[in-house]
Chains A and B, each alone.
Chain A
Amino acid sequence: MKKIINKPEDFVNEMIEGIVLAHPDKLKNPGDDPRILVRADAPVAGKVGIVTGGGSGHLPLFKGYVGQGLCSGVAIGNVFSSPSSQQCFEATKAVDGGAGVLYLYGNYGGDVFNFDLAADLAELEDIETMTVLGRDDVASQPKENRQERRGVAGTLFAYKAAGAAAERGDTLEEVAAAAEDIVENTATMGIGLSPTILPTTGALSFDLPDGEMEIGIGIHGEPGIHRGPLETADAITDRLVDALVADLELADGDSVAVLVNGMGATPLEELYVMYRRVHHSLTSRGVSIGKNYVGEYATSLEMAGASISLLKLNDDRLALLEAPASSPFFQEV
């Protein structure tokens, strides 16, 4: 294992410390626990707070989406592990501006368990909460079970929309509805080429023979739906886009937002080769691209691979995506 780390058990806290030291104008620890980060100006009085959270190892997910026009706070777990219910609750208290708090995070058992407990603790303090789960990974469950899908890179769209809705002063119900509307219209599928090494155990996140690819892989190396010899960029991209177009039932005249996301070790160059094919594939179907993102938005440490997310657009969704936002990892001006 070759990694630029100190003691493996210090990895997460030292990473967070570095982020806070680099961006003191944007982020802060509200209390003594380094695993809780909030916007530097939190709590914002009268505005809905948005708390996200999850395991480390996915930067910019999740802590990268704490900022103006995005989430208000985050509870941070160990690599690929949930934060505790107490941490989720402390983050809730730190961002509550009196208008309630939305929990918005990816659908994983441990995170759901701890955020649900945090919601009870918040209720005892008279803080109203609602929950919306990112569940965009179409390979994790068939469409009829889409409530059970995992949340992956496409959760970015929900952060962006919910954050914009909260910033303009929407109520908790309205912010939650905006997030839920985005989740319902987002689909993502990934491809894995090589695993990541977990810093504390040295274990591989998944096994994949040389020369093979895994279509539908999750951001923790969860198995996908097809494993086979590595194909060309166009063939891979077509597999992903075909699945997403079918899932969202896109038709001639529709418009989408596109996110081509690198998983950590795949270069931007390759992501743009994929984006080019996404563009041609969608436009040939009469589907226009209203907004695009190409880069690293949800990673799995140094995993090689990529994912494509599509969000079916309408005027409301596009306006929320185009509203200003600013975090150390994400800008929309």
Chain B
Amino acid sequence: MHSTELIEQIQRSLKEVVKHADELRDLDQALGDGDLGITITLGAGAVIEALEELPDGATPAEIARACAKAFANANPSTMAALVAGGLLAGSKTWKDLDDVDIAAAARFVKAAGDNIAQRGKTQIGDKTIVDAIMPAAEALDAGEDGASGLDAAIAAAEKAVVDTRSLRSRRGRAAWLQERSIGLQDPGATAMWRFLESWRTAGVPARS
């Protein structure tokens, strides 16, 4: 996937993902402070706009960096800063790359997940977005082509999201709920799952 195609794919995916804003807001109201819906809506809008402004021939790394910057500034929050830092870390794996294939996508998602885990001092099982990112990255890495890799990543993320229901939140505001967080689905992990689904719905899967 080259520059123009990548930009269009991201824009279409974000127009899809904002359809889940209410779901994310409701999940976040139960566990956190309820601003995830607005973070996603404003963030997606800002990214779509920022990508319009990019010069022709922007590299995938420059595109990812523009996404990070726009998302961080749209509605400043810890989640926005963590995601922006993740996208920044991912963009560094795309140095000298002009065609994003499934392997490049896997590298990106893995680096983003590692950065979020490190910055957030969190690990798999803490009931955060990292729970969904890491298995998705592994599934992408094992994928033979774009379509099947994406399908596997969505399935892995969905399983992780369902699994978060039985976990106790260990990071962020949600951790204050302690045992009462058990039974509630993690909004961050859900956001990652919905984003991957939106990427598929939006069309053109990454070529192998």
Chain A contact residues, CB within 8 Å of chain B: 84-86, 89, 109, 113, 116-118, 120-121, 123-125
Contact = CB atoms under 8 A, between A and B. Distances in A.
B76 A120 contact: no
Contact of B81 (A109, A120, A125): A120
A121 B81 contact: yes
Given A109-B121, A123-B88, A117 B69 contact: no
Given A124-B65, A124-B72, A113 B121 contact: yes
B97 to A, nearest CB: 19
Contacts of B69: 124-125
A268 B50 CA distance: 57
B78 A85 contact: yes
A113 B79 CA distance: 12
Contact of B76 (A86, A113, A125): A86
26 contacts: A84-B76, A85-B78, A85-B81, A89-B81, A113-B119, A113-B121, A116-B85, A116-B119, A117-B78, A117-B81, A117-B82, A118-B81, A120-B72, A120-B81, A120-B84, A120-B119, A121-B72, A121-B81, A121-B84, A121-B85, A124-B65, A124-B69, A124-B72, A124-B84, A124-B88, A125-B69
Contacts of B82: 117
Contacts, number: 39
The 4 closest A-B pairs by CB, nearest first: A120-B85, A117-B81, A86-B76, A124-B69
Interface size class of B (residues with CB under 8 A): 10 to 19
Q: Which of B65, B82, B85 counts the most A-chain CB atoms under 10 A from its CB?
A: B85
Interface of B: 65, 68-69, 72, 76, 78, 81-82, 84-85, 88, 115, 119-121
A95 B197 CA distance: 42
Contacts of A118: 81
A321 B16 CA distance: 58
In terms of DSSP, what is the predominant structure of the interface of chain A? helix
Contact of B120 (A86, A113, A123, A124): A113
A51 to B, nearest CB: 16
Contact of A124 (B68, B115, B119, B121): B68
A119 to B, nearest CB: 8
Q: Which of A109, A113, A116, A120 counts the most B-chain CB atoms under 10 A from its CB?
A: A120
Contacts of A89: 81
Nearest to B71: A124
B170 to A, nearest CB: 13
Nearest to B68: A124
Given A120-B81, A124-B65, 17 more contacts: A85-B81, A86-B81, A89-B81, A109-B121, A113-B120, A113-B121, A116-B85, A117-B81, A117-B85, A118-B81, A120-B84, A120-B119, A121-B81, A123-B88, A124-B69, A124-B88, A125-B69
B151 to A, nearest CB: 31
A123 B76 CA distance: 16
Contacts of A86: 76, 81
A84 B77 CA distance: 8
Contacts of B68: 124
Contacts of A113: 119-121
A11 B181 CA distance: 33
B190 to A, nearest CB: 22
Nearest to A124: B69
A117 B84 CA distance: 9
Nearest to B82: A117
